[in-house]
Amino acid sequence: VLRVVESGGGSVQAGGSLRLSCAVSGYTYSVACMGWFRQAPGKEREGVAAIYTGGGNTYYADSVKGRFTVSQDNAKNTLYLQMNSLKPEDTAIYFCAARVARDYCGLLPDGFGYWGQGTQVTVSS
């Protein structure tokens, strides 16, 4: 069993920065891919960034490339999402998720079986 817990959300003005953290506990050795997803009111959940835990390959949505950076600290079993140059359209609930199947790592939420409770990010103009 895996447990995923996000933290670090909050409110910031446009142009500001936030760093989200995601602590993973349990059978952490089984995790193949970690991802960050977000869901704004009235919109579908979308992939923001993902990282293949074995090789470190990263994947980003076009809307966040150059502004967001996903990283991992294996010693702490923690995933991070550094968000810079935030825009009002980044406002959403951000979720961290873990995937154990090794056949895919990317921005599609299907197959990510372990999800956190989400953390709110609000960017004001």
Task: Note the Cα 80 to chain centre separation in Å.
Answer: 7
Report which DSSP code applies to 42: T
Residue 40: the pLDDT is 96
Indicate if the pLDDT at residue 106 is higher than 90.
yes
Give the whole-angstrom CA distance, residue 50 versus residue 54.
Answer: 12
Residue 32: the pLDDT is 94
Residue 78: the pLDDT is 96
List pLDDT tens digits, range 11-62.
Answer: 999 999 999 999 999 988 899 999 999 999 999 999 999 999 988 899 999 9
Report which DSSP code applies to 75: T
Lowest mean pLDDT among 41-45, 52-56, 91-95, 119-123: 52-56
Q: Please state, for a pLDDT cut of 70, what percent of the chain lies above it.
A: 100
Confidence at 104, pLDDT banded by 50, 70, 90:
very high
Residues comprising the chain, all counted: 125
Average pLDDT of every residue of the chain: 96
Indicate if the pLDDT at residue 1 is higher than 90.
no
Structure tokens at 13: 């003005």
Tell me the backbone φ, ψ of residue 30, rounded to 5 degrees. -85, -10
Residue 28: the pLDDT is 87
Indicate if the pLDDT at residue 113 is higher than 90.
yes
